[in-house]
Chains A and B, each alone.
Chain A
Amino acid sequence: MPRIVAVIPAYNEATRIAGVIRDALQHVEQVIVVVDGATDGTANVSRAAGAIVIEHFENCGAGAATMTGIEAARAFGADIVITLDADGQHDPHDIPAVLAPLLSNSADIVFANRFGPLRGKSRNKIPAIRRLFNGIGNIVTFATTGRWVRDSQCGFKAFGPKALAEVDLKMDGFEFCTEIVRESAQRKWRLAEVPTKVMYSEYTMAKGQSFAHGIQTALKILLRSFLR
């Protein structure tokens, strides 16, 4: 059996993260939480819930925390890494579906797709503003990488052995989602997309990127693609 590890980057998620860890542990061997300069006890809550905790003493960003978690998972001997958001917007019970293309060796990386039809043809109720931001994110990602991913900005992903060995994220902030698509195109990873549930609440909406931050992220991505 492959060793499957979940990586959860977290910043001030003490009220939410315990449930995410407990649900994830039903489907993976270990959960690694990267506490990214949090000040609210996220680390203690995560340890109590059964996760391995790695702490950044300064806030470095979601991309930096994800890469730290991936390096920790490699050191732990993981064969497959699955990444989840800490705010509970992803349902850990979708983990088996996201892992399936990796376990059948039909993909090297799996992107969750919050916009695709779920079982029974139902769809997630996603606020219009989120759909718009994600659409812009997808277009910018395509313009810079040449690879179309239907939900490129989703934090719910799974890396198979090849992708896990090769991935090397350099971007610290939310741009890392686009960087992963770029890596997948450049390193010729086989890609799969799996529809998953998403649970938006006032809490998760408040935690999301602002429009100004989204524009800044898009500019950074475009410039990086030129200057790299």
Chain B
Amino acid sequence: MSLTPYQIIAPFVSLIAILYAWNLVFRQKKSVWEAILWTLFWGSIAYLALKPDSIDYLTAASGIQDRENAVVVTFLGILFFMVFYIVIRLEELSQRQTRMIRKMGLREAGLEKENTVEKS
């Protein structure tokens, strides 16, 4: 069985993504459920790269009939993914702004962490 470069790179990237997800689980930054979803997503990308014929039934509906088209569609998917990654990064900037507004509000109300009320 001869593999194309794409069929080597895609499973390799998928493997790294899956290992990264489970690493986050062990560092308690991701839940097991999220890691399972992540594994299914990247596992299916790797599987489709290795077995492109497995989605023959989709060709009629999607028009993807050969490996070249599958590669184009996959990279479109990755671009889509990257755009949303940027969206999430923008959201993190918005969260930083929220933290500033929160700190100012708490300071004005005299309820900053250092001003905690003693429990009776």
Contacts and interface: CB of A to CB of B under 8 A. Distances in A.
Nearest to A61: B98
B67 interface: no
Interface residues of B, number: 35
A223 B80 CA distance: 11
Given A60-B102, A228-B30, 14 more contacts: A54-B111, A55-B108, A56-B101, A57-B104, A60-B97, A71-B106, A76-B116, A170-B95, A172-B98, A182-B31, A186-B28, A223-B88, A225-B34, A226-B37
A173 B11 CA distance: 36
B37 to A, nearest CB: 7
Contacts of A225: 34, 37
Contacts of A68: 102, 105-106
Contacts of B104: 57
Interface of B: 24, 28-34, 37-38, 41, 84-85, 87-88, 91, 94-95, 97-98, 101-102, 104-106, 108-109, 111-113, 115-119
Contacts of A182: 31
B117 A54 contact: no
A96 interface: no
24 contacts: A52-B109, A54-B105, A54-B109, A55-B108, A56-B102, A57-B101, A58-B101, A60-B97, A60-B98, A64-B98, A71-B113, A72-B106, A74-B116, A75-B111, A75-B112, A75-B117, A77-B117, A144-B34, A146-B32, A182-B31, A220-B91, A223-B84, A228-B24, A228-B29
Interface size, A (range): 35 or more
A182 B32 CA distance: 11
A145 interface: yes
A116 B94 CA distance: 36
